[in-house]
Amino acid sequence: MILGVTGLFCTGKDTVAEILKEMNFYHVSFSDIIREEVKKRKEKITRDTLIKVGNELREGFGADILARIALEKVQDGENYVFTSIRNSSEVQLLQQRKDFLLIEVVSPDNIRLERIIQRNREEDPKTMKELKEKERQESSNEANNQQLHLVTKMAEIVMGNDSTKEVLKTKIERLVKDYLYKLHLPRPDWDAYFMNIAEQVKLRSTCLSAKKGALLVRDKMILSTGYNGSPRGIKHCIDGGCRRCTLRHLGKMKSGVYQEPCICCHSEENAIALAAYNGVSTKDAVIYVTYTPCVVCAKMIINAGIKKVVTKMDYPDDAGKGLLKQAKMDITKIT
């Protein structure tokens, strides 16, 4: 899970981060990301400099740049706490993830001012008027500036912090327990799962034409795979093995013209042939194909006893799809 923490000055955001670190969360501060940039520029690190450089980064690379950099640090299977989130575009990007939750930490103004005075930092406000002015400076309506007032409104959880650290810790532990099984990235369904594998299979294609992949599945078990390319033992198309493909890419022949034979096998052909080569029945199998089959492949699919075709993109020629429909084949297209 990724917990984002926002709030006004001295509401206890850093304390929340410390408690979560004690619970094995990794802490990623957006301010630290800006600090690294300030160091690269060899400028003095002050609050005003951090605000200026942060605004410049958003203007130069997009308002959500800090969130994008933070997400690059995220590793699978670990929990994270993100702090110093101050732009609505950062939140919008993070909230696209199913494992993200934004928490606003709130405290009464008098308690916040008391904390500020106790920590006694040089650049901190010393009066309530100065505090409100500082917060006004961080609440711009400019797209690339700090928008603390907008960020806090986007929080899904509001957590009060007007008592002791122990009380706050209890609240955080309860929240983590409540959301432990809710905040995780969704699993793909079976069709998306197998189509993603077909997309990886197609990367092995050796054809100069569009790369295509196929996957034969039965009872959620992969039977065989196939990608388009030259037959076994024949010089690859990408190495000049197919005269037709070479002529087409040299502009000597138009796509769809076959006065020169194409030696490449389609992904569906190879998947079915590989199953036969290994003595695996294709009866009642499902074939996942990155493109709808051509006529030749459609005929093979029908006669191989395959019961369903799951596809992602349409082949320019609809004849193959039409043949499958005549055979009352179950055809599903996913995005």
Based on DSSP, count helices (H) and strands (E) in the chain, helices before strands: 14, 10
Rg (CA), the chain: 29
Tokens in use for 253? 């022949």
Residue listed under structure tokens 């369904």: 189
**Three-state DSSP class for 137?**
helix
CA distances from 12 to 74, 84, 110 (A): 24, 12, 14
Nearest to 190 by CA among 225, 220, 213: 220
Q: Is 122 known to be catalytic? A: no
What is each CA distance from 318 to 20, 122, 214, 295, 298, in whole angstroms? Answer: 56, 72, 18, 8, 11
C-alpha span between 6 and 14 (Å, rounded): 10
Residue tagged active-site, from 90, 104, 268, 269: 268
Please identify every residue annotated as catalytic. Answer: 268
